[in-house]
Each structure stands twice: as C-alpha cells, then as structure tokens.
A and B are shown apart, each in its own frame.
Chain A
C-alpha cells in the first residue's frame, strides 16, 4: 500500500524544518521558544511570553509572520492605552461634497499575529478588549461587531522584573492563554553569534515565505486530527486533577480548560515534530507551558523556594 498520507506528513515535517532554519537566519538559539510559539499557532491559540527585555521576542514573532505570510501588528501597552487604541475607532470623515460621515478606522487588532508588549501595563479595561478579541476572534466597537481575519493569534509579553505600575492579569485572562512561554537568556556562544550578526549589519537578514494562510489553516485542522491514545488522555486528566488535589504544594489548581489545552498542545507538538501520533514525551514537554500560569503555589511551596516548574516536575513523576 503506498503511504500517501505518511508522505504528506513527512512533507509537513520538512516544511517545519525549513521554517526553523529560516528563523535561525534571524534568531540565534531559542529553539524551544520557537517550537512552542509554533505549537500555539498550530492550536489556533494565544501565548504569553515571559521574558526580560532585549531577548528578541518582537523580532522573532515578526520573522514568523513574514515566513507565514501573515499580517503582523504590535501594541506597546502603557497605562494610558485605551481600548479604542487597539480595536480601532470611528473617525469623522468629510467627503468631496462636504458631506461628513463616520468611518471605522481599524486598530492593530485587525492583523493575524498581534504582539502585545508588556500586557500587564495596560489597564484592565484595555485588557478586557483584548480578551474579547482573543477568545471570540471579534471586536466590538459601539454597537457594531467586527469579525477578525483568521488566523488570529495574540502573543503577549510580560516583564517579570518591573512590577511597579502594572495591572497583573486576572486568572480568568491568563487561563485564556494556551501557553506561557519562558524566554531565557541565550548561552554565551549564542550571544557571541548574535553580537557578530547584528553589530555588523544594520538590517536583519531577509527570509523566504513558506506558508500561505490557507496552508496554515489546513495545518491547524491536521493538528486537531493527530490521534492520541486513551491511556495518554487519562494521564493528562490525571495530571490536571493532581494540580487540584495536591493542596500541600498548590493553592489553586488548573481548570478543565488546561486538560483540553494540554491534549491539544501535545497534538500540535507531535505535528510540528513530524509525528503522526502523540507520545508521552509530547505531554511531558507541553505540560510546563500549559500548566505553569494556571497553578498558584501554596505558601509552603513558595517558602521552600519552589517554582511552578518544580511542582509540575514533581506531579509528572507521580503519574
């Protein structure tokens, strides 16, 4: 029997390999971050990036949008940022005959990939406007609702150092981000390469387009079709349940949305790595970005100096 379907999956794998190579022309290192952003995109979901400034988040996401032929927009969140600044607003326009009318001027949310820098600096009112766009893929201005162009992702960043004058994201909002991706400092070797690359040339290297919107939507469909065994599904549910039952280390556990997210992220991780099925390794790798922003550690765990990742590791060992 000719392996037609398997051949297509191999083509998908090759495409992702080429995509990573192309990103590698611009971004040095950060392979895992790129991988997790691709997972979020394949799941048609939003991601929260936590990193220190100057680690190339904006460049990374802009490069991705160029490779995928997607419209990119960036919002720099500040306390005086209004919802209309991101959704768009009606402006009064005068026609040739002197007639005046309101015309809707689209905001930066009308893009495919929206990078919201330092989201916790925006006011809760603006965060709510973003929440609707993230969840419903639509924007409401006045009495009119505008559907956003698909695919649509919000990749928001948080600065873990500076907490002065911030509005921490409420739990309900963080839960809507499928992944919380940690962007760490590059290694010394990678940093040297970054210095060589960007201290010599003024503009970043050009990248090729690899995907169209349609092919991306198809890939999102395939990601949901990746089969997962019942055994692994049970393990995922058991892991999420453990975050709720282990009161010794965890104050508040993850919701069932986390179970859905972990299964979906594991499927997408398998597809991005060119596999036709989900393995336990996928579940383990994705459990960190899926769960780390959904659990709140107990006082005891914090006093002991444990991080959410430490607790997730401990829960995974109990599986």
Chain B
C-alpha cells in the first residue's frame, strides 16, 4: 500500500529533521567548547571548526540510528500500538490490515514533529551555549592561554634532573620577530675569533664649529609675518641610522649582558 509506505517515509524524514536539529545544537556546543580549547592553547580556530564538522556528521549518523519509532511511540502513546503493528505488517494486504493503515493515517494527523522535541533539553542546551559564549569572550578579552612550555617535556626534564634547584617555570619571555633587531644578526653577535669590521660614517658627528656663523639679526616688521607657517616632518633619527650602527648597538648590548 503506497500510502502507508509514504507515511513511513514521511516519518523517517521527520526523524531526520529532529536528529539534524539536535545534532546541530550539539555541534554548536561542541564548537564552542573546542573554541575555548583552541583559545587556551593558542591554536588556530580552524581546528575547532574542522572537529565540529566531523562531530556533526557523526552525531547525525548516531541519532538517526538511535531515534527509532519507539521514541515516536513514547512521545505519542495514542499511536503506540497501531504504529508498531503497522510497521510489522507493512507488506500485508488483508482487509483488516488495510483498515488499520487507514486508521493510522487518520491518527497520524494528530502527531506533529514538535512533540518529538524535548523543550527542557533545548533549554539546557541554550543555557550551555550562553555560558560557553561568555567564557570565550572572557578568555579572548583577557588573552588567557596556556603557555607552550606546559607541553614542552624539556621544562619537566630540567625540573626533575635538578630537584630543588630548577624552578618549574612555565612562563618564559618570548620576543617577537621584530625584537631580534635589538641584538642584530645573532651570527655577528656571537663572540669568537671573528673580526668585526665596523665602518662608522663620521659625517653626522663631524662638526666644524668654526664654520658656525653667528645668527643674523633680523628685525621683524609689522605686517610682514608669513601667511602660513608649517612644519615639515623629517625622517626620525632612528631611521637615519645606518645598518652598521644597529649592529653596533646590538653588539654593545650583548656585551653588556655577558659582562
């Protein structure tokens, strides 16, 4: 009987819709939890996103298997016996079986997919989502993350190999790439037998005070003020420093640190 087969197909579709809804809600929660994790571990968010998609697929599959007609029967006790019987007699065509299919089709009009959703469950999920969102904001705004050294076995090795002497310190000072300029090229800064040639351009420091003229006296006349006075920006002194100067600074600082 095509009507009853169609009815069961529709029922399967309803089961899929409900499973999908639950799986999406669960996946969003999973994503939030994973995002909290990646934020703490200072990882990229794609890890959380990728894992959530895998979770979504797995959850739908699981729920489709788990959500059976039995659950529909539990939520709709008025159709429990007839639905169970119809499922067992799907291919039969006896008079009474056909009458039962007709009765089931009539009774199914009173059954909606909404009855399969547990409002308490949805409420709990919504609350969990809100709490997770709040925690993400908290972690991100305060830049809270677990230091990488926590996962470095060397940290623990040093601590165990020198008991009482070494401090179990997970916090190490890390410099950004730009900070390397402070020391210059690490190869050049390495002390050894290498000869360091310093070429310092003396042009800036070379000043002949004899050539300095006395300032000319000038009288300001009323009404001869310049119409517009503008300051012309110049390159900063730091930018003007030649590369060799930076190397020299780095060298000096390193020497200072060693001494």
Contacts and interface: CB of A to CB of B under 8 A. Distances in A.
B103 A225 contact: no
B99 A231 contact: no
Interface string B97-136: 1111011011000000000000000000000000000000
B11 interface: no
Interface in A174-228: 222, 225-228
Nearest to A4: B102
B3 interface: yes
Contact of B103 (A228, A231, A232, A276): A276
Interface stretch (B26-34, B86-94, B160-168, B184-192): B86-94
Contacts of B84: 229, 231-232
B106 A227 contact: no
A227 B103 contact: no
9 contacts: A9-B96, A225-B96, A227-B92, A227-B100, A229-B81, A229-B87, A232-B85, A277-B82, A278-B81
- List of 8 A-B pairs having minimum Cβ-Cβ separation, nearest first: A5-B99, A276-B100, A3-B102, A6-B102, A225-B96, A279-B81, A229-B85, A225-B94
Given A277-B85, A278-B85, A226 B96 contact: yes
Contacts of A1: 3, 102, 105
**Size range of the interface on B?**
20 to 34
B95 interface: yes
A15 interface: no
B85 A227 contact: yes
Interface of A: 1, 3-6, 8-9, 222, 225-232, 271, 276-280
**Most chain B beta-carbon neighbours within 10 Å: one of A5, A227, A230, A280:** A227
Contacts of A9: 96, 99, 103
A8 B99 CA distance: 8
B105 A227 contact: no
A225 B81 contact: no
Contact of B88 (A222, A230, A276): A230
Given A3-B105, A6-B103, A271-B96, 13 more contacts: A1-B105, A5-B99, A6-B106, A227-B88, A227-B92, A227-B94, A227-B97, A229-B84, A231-B88, A232-B84, A277-B86, A278-B85, A279-B81
B95 A228 contact: no
Contact of A280 (B81, B100, B105): B81
Nearest to B70: A231
Contacts of A8: 95, 99
B77 to A, nearest CB: 11
B81 A227 contact: no
A277 B87 CA distance: 12
A277 B106 CA distance: 14
Interface of B: 3, 81-82, 84-89, 92, 94-100, 102-103, 105-106
B106 to A, nearest CB: 7
B109 to A, nearest CB: 12
Contacts of B87: 229
Contacts of A232: 81, 84-85
A222 B96 contact: yes
A277 B100 CA distance: 6
B105 A276 contact: no
Contacts of A3: 99, 102-103, 105-106
A246 B117 CA distance: 42
Given A227-B100, A276-B100, A277-B100, A5 B95 contact: yes
A276 B95 CA distance: 10
Given A230-B88, A277-B82, A280-B81, A225 B105 contact: no
A122 B99 CA distance: 45
Contacts of A5: 95-96, 98-99, 102
B147 to A, nearest CB: 59
B80 to A, nearest CB: 8
A277 B81 contact: yes
Contacts of B82: 276-277
Nearest to B89: A227
Nearest to A276: B100
**Most chain B beta-carbon neighbours within 10 Å: one of A1, A5, A8, A276:** A276
Nearest to B100: A276
A59 to B, nearest CB: 33
A45 B105 CA distance: 33
Contacts of B102: 1, 3-6, 276
Contacts of A228: 85
Contact of A225 (B85, B97, B106): B97
B3 A227 contact: no
Contacts of B3: 1
A278 B81 CA distance: 7
A2 B103 CA distance: 11
Contacts of B98: 5
A219 to B, nearest CB: 11
A266 to B, nearest CB: 11
A234 to B, nearest CB: 11
